[in-house]
Amino acid sequence: MSDNLAKDLASPAAGEGAMPTPPADAPATGAVPAATADAGALRDRPAGGGDELVRVTDLTKLFPVRRGTLVRRGAGAVRAVDGVSFAIDRGTTLGLVGESGSGKSTAGRLISRLLEPTSGSVVFDGQDISHLSSRQLRPLRRDIQMIFQDPYSSLNPRHTIGAIVAAPMRIQKQVPRRGVRDRVRELLELVGLNPEHYNRYPNEFSGGQRQRIGIARALATRPKLIIADEPVSALDVSIRAQIINLLDGLRTEFGLTYLFIAHDLSMVRHLSDRVAVMYLGQIIELADRTDLFSGALHPYTHALLSAVPIPDPTSHRRRERIRLHDEVPSPLNPPVACRFHPRCWKAQEICRTEAPPLLERAPGHQVACHFPEKRDVV
Amino acid sequence: MTGPAPAGTPFLQVRDLTVSFRTDDGVVHAVDRLSFSVERGRTLGIVGESGSGKSVTSLAIMGLHRRGRRVSIDGEIRLDGEDLVTAPAERVRGLRGQRMAMIFQDPLSSMHPQFTVGEQIVEAYRVHNRVSRAAARRRATELLELVGIPEPARRLDDYPHQFSGGMRQRAMIAMAVSCNPELLIADEPTTALDVTVQAQILDLMRELQKEFNSAIIIITHDLGVVAEISDDILVMYAGQAMEHGGVEEVFAHAEHPYTWGLLQSITRLDRQLETTLRTIPGSPPSLINVPPGCPFHPRCTYRELAGPAASTVRPPLAEASPGHRVACHLPVDERRRLLREEVTPTL
Ligand SMILES: Nc1ncnc2c1ncn2[C@@H]1O[C@H](COP(=O)(O)OP(=O)(O)O)[C@@H](O)[C@H]1O
Ligand SMILES: Nc1ncnc2c1ncn2[C@@H]1O[C@H](COP(=O)(O)OP(=O)(O)O)[C@@H](O)[C@H]1O
Ligand code: SF4
Ligand code: SF4
Ligand SMILES: [Mg+2]
Ligand SMILES: [Mg+2]
């Protein structure tokens, strides 16, 4: 690791201009003061005192690993999501970022209860849904909908888009049979498609249009929560912006709550109120958008932000670069204590022996690091 | 023709490259009269949305299109002066791997799953170098080390699937640079990778370029990647060049409405937050039915300003300032005014 990585930067984080920057609670240069004794209690405080739609607590999902037919010695379990806690307030968007394999999709599938947690809980709209049976889950399917990355594979090619969009309504029997067609047209129009096209098949639409179909289908049951898992990753730049604007507009129009999963940090910044960063199945930092993007405290968040290419050849030359060595270790056998320590340029002895808890270091800003501090990276 | 080209001739020169495919649905005009050049030691970034002809262009340069009744390739591709379009297939095959090499987005699909990484590098190397297996293996170890694979001697005996995505891309690069190619084409080399790994791979490509002084073409849809690694940028749309110039010039003074649209529609960490993203209306055309005139006109905000020519006459890629070429009917002054008054304030 080169010296300039080890040295602490003296520059304060840049303000975000358009967003009011809250007073910095931590000195820009030095280390953030140790969490106060009651910081642990603060953890469970509902974010912003708002009205929670979702709360997950110590959520964990292990996937047992089998190699061949025999469960071999040493083959344990993939700790896909490992003790994750957060809440999403009604009408807000939580962005979930992290590199592939960090457990984002698994977290989304646990919350939508496409998967059952190994331990921990998911409370949705006041109800603990962690272990509901599939029959008990049926009414919930209406309230929680997912949008997936791949608009190609998530739409049945043999069904018309009208049938695709209507399917959730039919299953939920929310809308009288006669009303379904009108509602479908309404939905298609809402997502910017021609309502007369309900008799066409998915292959007659472009990637962006197919994603609109996926969104119309997700809206059909008037859900409260939408879990969008990389909804624009497969789309072209010019189409991405259209879909982001659509998601944004729908949120305002219907007061939707989003869990927005993406690996594109600038997209997450655009759409999210709060942002959680995952690494190897755990949340390592969770903060309001502005605090995360201009006042991140965790070295891994710094490394992620620093790696995002900036479309400005001149600023690129000025920009300080943090380069992580190696790649994310296997979630089958994650490093002990701080999971980031083998790649962290700030690691000390304690990082190898004690797992840093996710503590609130500034109002609403939680970090899991023994040595959190601000650093100017963008 | 052999031997170095006369001084002043670019190392790679593509002129009026046109590639079309006859399909059951009609003729696909994948690349249409495309011209650009790349010098040794320089990197050209080609950007454009999917289906804009980027991969077809790189495969044409590498001589990887199966020529025949269904594929037609016209124009010139000169590598160090030698035209690859008219050269016999064996000649181009010989140059491939020796003077030019390519890296693909998905190394797994371009590596053989049943041979170890080492065997594949050794084979690639021995095609062009008459050395013993042992010597080639030593070279393979050096190459893996060069591209930053830890414990290279041991990893040589791994199969591609035992490598992570990033490691496979490194191995692919090792294979590509095994013969010190003078031209390296990387087609979306980091698109499938996470940002931190992408940053490592881009660093590696930069280092290798310093070492080999190659001409590099990097194809990507990420303007950030182009800004970070390229010296020049070529913006493609519907198989045609829209804008071409030095990166700093084009990012600071873009003059084509499509380039503006791309710059406006991206979210970026180095800018203030906007409430609504600007978008380019509609979607890219089918290359079977490319719009006549300026191919971008159905989506262009400024087509009215350019008059009826927009939909009837194809604008030539004309020099707007030295080294900066733009294919748009709008007068240069008008484009600069729009950039200053309407576009820059939104970036
Ligand atoms: N059904 C499954 N069986 C076994 N392992 C899984 C399964 N789903 C996900 N995983 C593993 O769990 C980890 C987290 O995966 P995922 O949640 O898909 O991450 P992300 O969405 O962040 O890329 C990965 O190591 C992945 O291989
Ligand atoms: N072998 C082929 N036969 C027919 N059409 C092709 C072939 N290869 C590419 N195309 C078409 O040519 C166009 C340009 O493709 P490509 O160069 O792969 O785009 P990009 O790399 O910019 O995404 C697309 O419309 C694609 O479908
Ligand atoms: S706890 Fe230690 S190793 Fe982990 S991120 Fe913080 S400084 Fe790095
Ligand atoms: S030629 Fe006309 S339609 Fe094409 S980009 Fe220029 S202004 Fe737009
Ligand atoms: Mg995922
Ligand atoms: Mg391509």
Assess whether the C-beta atom of A344 lies below 6 angstroms from ligand 3. yes
How far CA A115 is from CA of A122, A131, A225, A331, in Å, comes to 11, 10, 16, 18
Distance of CA B63 to the CA centre of its chain: 15
pTM, to two decimals? 0.88
Q: What are the phi and psi torsion angles at A159 (to 5°)?
A: -105, 145
CB < 8 Å to B203, chain A:
323
Residues B218 and B160 in one domain: no
The CATH number of residue B55's host domain is 3.40.50.300
The predicted pLDDT at position A48 comes to 47
Burial (Cβ within 10 Å: 0-12, 13-18, ≥19) of residue A81: buried
Indicate if B68 and B174 belong to the same structural domain: no
Task: Assess if residue B6 is contained within a domain.
Answer: no
Amino acid at A185: R
Please check whether residue B71 lies inside any domain of the structure: yes
Q: Name the nearest CA neighbour of A226 among A234, A214, A237.
A: A214
Residues B151 and B191 in one domain: no
Output helix, strand, coil percentages for chain A, rounded to the nearest 5.
Answer: 35, 20, 45
Atom of ligand 1 nearest to the CA of A107: 17
Q: How far is A99 from chain B (nearest CA, A)?
A: 6
> What is the pLDDT at residue A47?
45
**Residues written for chain A:** 378
For residues B77 and B131, membership in a common domain is answered with no
pLDDT of residue A28: 39
Q: Are B118 and B156 in contact (CB under 8 A)?
A: yes
Under DSSP, the state recorded for B323 is T
pLDDT of B81: 95
Q: Are residues B174 and B242 in the same domain?
A: no
| Sign of the dihedral through C-alpha B141, B144, B148, B154 | negative
Name the pairing type of β-strands A225-229 and A144-147: parallel
Among B153, B178, B203, residue at a domain's last position: B178
Q: How far is the C-alpha of A134 from the C-alpha of A136, rounded, in Å?
A: 5
The pLDDT of residue B282 is 87
Binary contact (B203, A304; C-beta < 8 A): no
Is B17 domain-assigned? Answer: yes
Whether residue A323 and residue B269 make contact (CB cut-off 8 A), yes or no, is no
Give the residue from B30, B195, B168 showing the smallest Cα distance to A308: B195
Query: pLDDT at position A74, please?
Result: 53
A299 Cα nearest atom in ligand 3: 5
CA dihedral B260, B263, B267, B271 (to 10 degrees): -100
Residue B172 and residue B186 in one domain: no
The answer to the question of residue B104 being in a domain is no
Q: How far apart are CA B97 and CA B100, in angstroms?
A: 5
Q: Are B37 and B169 contained in the same domain?
A: no
B20 domain residue, yes or no? yes
Which of B145, B178, B211 is the last residue before a domain boundary? Answer: B178
Q: How far from each other are the two terminal CA atoms of chain A, in whole angstroms?
A: 20
Q: Are residues B155 and B271 in the same domain?
A: no
Give the residue among B187, B124, B196 at the shortest CA–CA distance from B165: B196
Q: Which domain holds residue B43?
A: 12-99+179-346
Nearest CA to ligand 2 atom 3: B21
CB atoms within 10 A of CB A63: 15
Is residue B16 assigned to a domain?
yes
Of B23, B32, B55, B56, which is best to mutate to test ligand 2, by the most ligand atoms within 8 angstroms of its C-beta?
B56
Of B190, B244, B214, whose CA–CA distance to B46 is shortest? B244
Closest CA to A312 of B226, B221, B246, B188: B226
Residue at B7 is within a domain: no
Nearest ligand to the C-alpha atom of residue B189: 6
Judgement on whether residues B165 and B243 belong to the same structural domain of the protein: no
Report whether residue B300 contacts ligand 4, using a CB cutoff of 6 Å: yes
User: Does residue B260 share a domain with residue B194?
Assistant: yes
Q: Which of A99, A248, A316 sits opposite B227 (nearest CB)?
A: A316
A56 pocket-lining for ligand 3 (C-beta < 6 Å):
no
The CA distance from A141 to A159, in Å, is 21
- Residues (pLDDT < 50) of chain B are 1-2
Atom of ligand 1 nearest to the CA of A332: 25
Positions of chain A with pLDDT lower than 70, given as ranges: 1-50, 67-75, 151, 316-317
Structurally, chain B folds into a number of domains equal to 2
Please tell me whether residues B212 and B287 are part of one structural domain: yes
Closest CB from B166, B223, B277 relative to A311: B223
The shortest CB-CB distance from B265 to any of A241, A264, A307 is to: A241
Residue A354 backbone phi and psi in degrees, to 5: -125, 130
Report yes or no: A30 and A12 within 8 Å, Cβ to Cβ: no
Please give the pLDDT value at position B169. Answer: 87
pLDDT on residue B53: 96
CA A265 – CA B266 distance, rounded (Å): 12
Q: How many CB pairs under 8 A join A and B?
A: 136
Spell out the long-range contacts of B178-181 with Cβ–Cβ below 8 A and sequence spacing 24 or more: B178/B121, B178/B124, B178/B125, B178/B139, B178/B140, B178/B143, B179/B97, B179/B98, B179/B101, B179/B124, B179/B125, B179/B128, B179/B129, B180/B212, B180/B214, B181/B97, B181/B98, B181/B99, B181/B100, B181/B101, B181/B212, B181/B214
Structural domain includes residue B280:
yes
What is the crossing angle of helices A177-190 and A207-219, to 10°? Answer: 130
d(CA A269, CA A95): 8
* Domain boundary pick from B118, B145, B178: B178
Q: What are phi and psi of A63, to 5 degrees?
A: -105, 110
Residues in chain B: 347
Give the H or E element holding residue B138: helix B133-146
Cβ of B196 and A303 within 8 Å?
yes
Q: What pLDDT shows up at residue B67?
A: 78
Are B41 and B65 in the same domain? Answer: yes
